[in-house]
Amino acid sequence: MLVNCDSGLARPGASSLALLDRHVAAAIDLHRQVKHAQWNVVGCGAAALRGTLDKLATGLDYCCDLIAAHADLLGVAVNGTVQVAAARSFLARYPLDRADARAHAGAVIAAVETLVGSLRGAAADAAECRDPETVALLIEIARFIERDMWHVRAAAAAAADKVPRPRVMPRVVADPNGDDRPGAGWPDRRFQFPAAAAGHGVGAATEILS
């Protein structure tokens, strides 16, 4: 985004106000997207992802507070209502369906990457305007959100590992001594004692071929 740096402005950093306003709108939008994902994730790994998304949403609230505090130092108001944020946010529309952890994590990560990339671009614009305080703020927020995005990636990977897969259970054959109590059988090691050898030691064993 190109910023018109007006060196004649009386307040230092005033040329970056458009950047702050634009990104607080996107951060509010992302916060609501993350809460939507938290409320609508289902399936394997959903509980773990909900906790991670809740922390991300809390972090985004903190980031919005940082932007508001910086704008207050510049003596301007921050447009922080949902209506204004929805109109000004540059994030893509979030899918509204219920979905599994991998789908929601992927959508959240895509939105976070969009915001982080824009924050870094905005920091470069603020640097051109010689506004180091805004540069430091935007980079700090980008790093903060990236850290939380790593936790979302980890939760998504863990959810993928928990997807049920076909399992081969070991066969259990009857105890040759006739003990048929629950759990009394022996694990099948591809051998079975013939009935004639029961109670007479190891005896002759026949290999199970099927």
CB 86 within 8 A of CB 26: no
Give 7-49 pLDDT, tens digit per residue: 444 344 556 788 999 999 999 999 999 999 999 999 888 999 9
pTM for the model: 0.71
Sign of the dihedral defined by the CA atoms of residues 25, 30, 32, 33, in that order: positive
Q: Write down the domain spans for the chain.
A: 14-161, 169-210
Name which residue leads in pLDDT, 189 or 31. Answer: 31
Which CATH number is correct for 14-161, 3.30.70.360, 1.20.58.410, 1.10.3720.10, 1.20.1260.10? 1.20.1260.10
Give 130-163 pLDDT, tens digit per residue: 889 999 999 999 999 999 999 999 888 887 776 5
Looking at residue 162, its pLDDT comes to: 62
134-143: long-range contacts, CB 8 A cutoff, minimum separation 24: 134/13, 134/16, 134/19, 134/20, 134/70, 137/66, 137/67, 137/70, 138/19, 138/23, 140/66, 141/23, 141/27, 141/63, 141/66, 141/67, 142/116
For residue 11, give Cα distances in angstroms to 6, 21, 74, 80, 206.
Answer: 10, 16, 7, 22, 92
* pLDDT score of 185 more than 50: no
Looking at residue 202, its pLDDT comes to: 45
Sign of the dihedral defined by the CA atoms of residues 38, 39, 40, 46, in that order: positive
- Highest-scoring range by mean pLDDT, 122-126, 156-160, 196-200: 122-126
Looking at residue 203, its pLDDT comes to: 44
* pLDDT score of 119 more than 90: yes
- Mean pLDDT confidence for 106-112: 95
Distance CA 33, CA 176 (A): 62
Neighbours of 25 (CB within 10 A): 25
Dump strand ranges (E) for 30-139. Answer: 41-42, 99-100
